[in-house]
Amino acid sequence: MELRDYLFILKNSLLRLSPLYLKRNPVMLLSEISFFIVLIYMIVARAFSGFYAWIAVLIFLTVWFGTLADSYAEHQAKITASSLIRITSTINVRKILPDSSEVYVPPDVVSVGDIILVRVGEIIPLDGVIVEGTAAIDESLVTGESLPVIKSINDEVISGSKVVSDYLKIRVTKTLKESYVYRIAGMIERTKRPKGESERQLDSLLYGLTFLLSLVIVSLGLTLYLLGYPLNVPVLMGFYVCLLPTTIGALEEAIGISGLVRLWKIKVISKSGKAIEAAGDTDVVLLDKTGTITLGRREPIRIIPLNSHTEEEVAKALFLASLQDDTQEGKAILRYLEGKGYVAENIDQAVLSFYEEFSAKTRKSGILYRPLRLPGRDLFKEIRLIRKADFYGVYLNEKVPIFKGAPDVMRTLFYAPPDFEEKVNEIARNGGTPLAVAVGDEIIGLLELRDIIKEGVKEEIKRLQSMGIEIYMITGDHPLTAQKIAAEVGIKNVIPQAKPEDKYKKVIEEQQQGKTIAMVGDGTNDAPALARANVGLAMYSGTEVAKEAANMIDLESDPSKIIEVIKLGKQLLITRGSIATFSIANDISKYFVVLPALISFLVAARYLNILHLPLDVAVLAALIYNAFIIPMLLPLAVKGISLKPKSPRRIFLENVLVYGLGGVILPFIAIKLIGVLLILLR
């Protein structure tokens, strides 16, 4: 951060000392009221002693450190958004004029359709399409992708990317304020942070403790007054502030905001601050196999002909069925077939009619093919099995259905030869995915596809399971394939041959048992389940409907990011719980440090004063510790407590031991050392 950032934080923290702002945090508001009571007492009673002045200063510092923590955490969030905007808004754009000359202009005056030039080492200022040049582009600034990607003519580029080789001429498709960087920054700035359930429960606990402590102070003051002892208001207020849970009261907001910032750093936008807390409470995770557990790039490895058909017949049918398939899998099939030499040339698009795109519901795709009976144009004379049957309302002597799809779907629409099930099961047992190929009304062969398990995903799944999270793998694959992949990564619960509506049903089923559910999706069909799940993570590359339904969006469109989101959510809850435990334990210790000194006129109290500090020293030492423990714990609140793969029970016991017992012991040691130092400085 720059000097102006620190000055802004300082200014903002002072403005937040207003009671109108502090009313949202009763603990800090009561601390500030205590400060004013001490000031008023000093003025009315004309008691302008240095001791009372120090009490007032230390109470003020306690409140100010709280607003400083808020301001620091909130400014960190604003820096995240503004740093994105600064990536492109401060760049001079090299615009190409109609006469091919170049002129430098600010990015906000560039219009859609303008041509700009970006050279090696420069940031792409606006979204657009390449019209000239080929270059390696580093998109890590905005997408997190570490390796540069090669892009050329007609490829889209996004603002904030960096050209690391050659040059590009780009036709602008979006103005500055419509660009990718501005849209992401806007999503961050619009993020709201309503308090989650556990935070509200913590607030209820703190308010209850504050009320009880207020009664204790009032009762103690009245008792001293009735017994005829002089009522020392500044000391009583100092004692009161020491007892209030000011540590967690001051850091609670910073913990919540910092959780959102940590989420943004892994390129995930939360539309509500409640979502990350829900992630920390997750009991069940629904994981898609493809793209989450595996790389999501299924590659063909083997063609299996059926019922006396040849590999060439199956391959050429696959070629026609995949020719108009723009999916990643369709392109992979074409690459595979081209590598094996099964490519038809001079195909007239007129012979391809009624292309059916793949959908998660139908789980098949293909065409109706009309062979041309012209010399040299009988492209697939090897396919000799066309029969007269009605399919999609047309006669097959005119249009031939050539389809590929999931075996369980295809066998309900086409005739399956006797060896079909055996071969399907063989592929599935090997961990592959079978794809059935049909021509006319018969399945003529299978294509074996194989996906690769992501590096490290097995370890991540094991960590989640060690935290008591139940994991379901959902996939459209054959049950045997699904079970083999699940076994490799250590998942016991599998839902094979699943449709999008199966996710929704599973979410409801688990929620009815009182569980918190997290899931990932990117399609319109996933929207109901994303909206219903407690944590719905949508892919930025997915449909608008899915992104609207979800409460989190992953800018990198990496489904496995849900694992990191859950870990961050748990880290947030553990951090808040640990600091709350430490704060309350501190208050207990400070009670037994200051109260014996306060009532030292009683013989019994002298035995309880184990630190043997005079009243004034005990009060000042406790207030110094109470104030300065807030900025000391701020880095922990912002960074979060390190999360290790352990069961919830073990995490709870360790927190009680470290932050509970440690919170009881530390104040005695620290206050004693501060007290000795104060005595030496007298």
pLDDT digits (tens, 9 = 90+) for 661-680: 888 899 999 999 999 999 88
DSSP designation for 292: I
Rounded CA-CA distance 258/576 in Å is: 11
Are both 428 and 315 inside the same structural domain?
Answer: yes
Query: Alpha helix (H) ranges present in 341-451?
Result: 407-413, 420-429
Are both 405 and 534 inside the same structural domain?
Answer: no
Q: Does residue 544 fall inside a structural domain?
A: yes
Compare 332 and 605 and report the one with higher pLDDT. Answer: 332
CATH code: domain of residue 157: 2.70.150.10
The SS3 assignment for 299 reads strand
* Residue at which a domain ends, from 533, 567, 601: 567
CATH code: domain of residue 367: 3.40.1110.10
- Which domain does 280 fall in, by range? 264-295+453-567
Rounded CA-CA distance 518/286 in Å is: 6
Give the model's pLDDT for residue 382: 37
Which phi and psi (to 5°) does residue 356 adopt?
-105, 115
Q: Which of 114, 288, 554, 558 is catalytic?
A: 288
Q: Does residue 581 fall inside a structural domain?
A: no
The SS3 assignment for 529 reads helix
The SS3 assignment for 205 reads helix
Residue pair 449/301 in contact (Cβ under 8 Å)? The answer is yes
Instruction: Report which residue type is found at 45.
Output: A
Give the model's pLDDT for residue 572: 87
Are both 486 and 363 inside the same structural domain?
Answer: no
Are both 480 and 491 inside the same structural domain?
Answer: yes
Six-digit token string for 595: 């109260």
Are both 326 and 446 inside the same structural domain?
Answer: yes
Give the model's pLDDT for residue 179: 77
Residue pair 445/313 in contact (Cβ under 8 Å)? The answer is yes
Compare 454 and 68 and report the one with higher pLDDT. Answer: 68
Give the model's pLDDT for residue 375: 41
- Give the number of other Cβ atoms within 10 Å of residue 275's Cβ: 25
Q: Does residue 583 fall inside a structural domain?
A: no
The pLDDT confidence band at residue 397, using thresholds 50, 70 and 90, is very low
pLDDT beyond 60 at 542: yes
Are both 437 and 460 inside the same structural domain?
Answer: no
DSSP designation for 142: H
pLDDT beyond 90 at 307: no
Residue pair 124/157 in contact (Cβ under 8 Å)? The answer is yes
Q: Does residue 360 fall inside a structural domain?
A: yes
Give the model's pLDDT for residue 142: 57
Are both 277 and 303 inside the same structural domain?
Answer: no
Residue pair 568/544 in contact (Cβ under 8 Å)? The answer is no
Nearest to 539 by CA among 520, 518, 557, 564: 557
Rg (Cα) of the chain, in Å, rounded?
34
Instruction: Report which residue type is found at 502.
Output: D
Residue bearing tokens 């029969």: 387
Rounded CA-CA distance 30/43 in Å is: 20
pLDDT beyond 50 at 388: no
Q: Does residue 231 fall inside a structural domain?
A: no
User: Among this protein's residues, is 587 annotated catalytic?
Assistant: no
- Give the number of other Cβ atoms within 10 Å of residue 543's Cβ: 17
Strand partners, 443: 438
Nearest to 355 by CA among 370, 344, 374: 370
Residue bearing tokens 């590999």: 311
Domain count, the chain: 3
Which phi and psi (to 5°) does residue 104 adopt?
-90, 130
- Per-residue b/e over 505-528, b at no fewer than 16 CB within 10 Å? ebbeebbeeeebbbbbbbbebbbb
pLDDT digits (tens, 9 = 90+) for 340-376: 887 765 555 545 667 788 776 778 888 887 654 434 4
Rounded CA-CA distance 112/538 in Å is: 29
* Residue at which a domain ends, from 390, 425, 450: 450
Nearest to 396 by CA among 407, 385, 404: 385
Are both 286 and 317 inside the same structural domain?
Answer: no
- Give the number of other Cβ atoms within 10 Å of residue 23's Cβ: 10
Are both 466 and 553 inside the same structural domain?
Answer: yes
pLDDT beyond 80 at 231: no
Is 10 exposed, middle or buried (CB count within 10 Å of its CB: 0-12, 13-18, 19+)?
middle
Are both 471 and 435 inside the same structural domain?
Answer: no
Is the whole-model pTM more than 0.85?
Answer: no
* Residue at which a domain ends, from 545, 567, 589: 567
Residue pair 117/129 in contact (Cβ under 8 Å)? The answer is no
Q: Does residue 4 fall inside a structural domain?
A: no
- Max Cα–Cα distance, the chain, nearest Å: 120
Are both 445 and 462 inside the same structural domain?
Answer: no
| Range in 3-17, 379-393, 449-463, 529-543 with the lowest mean pLDDT | 379-393
Compare 415 and 198 and report the one with higher pLDDT. Answer: 415
CATH code: domain of residue 511: 3.40.50.1000
Are both 279 and 137 inside the same structural domain?
Answer: no
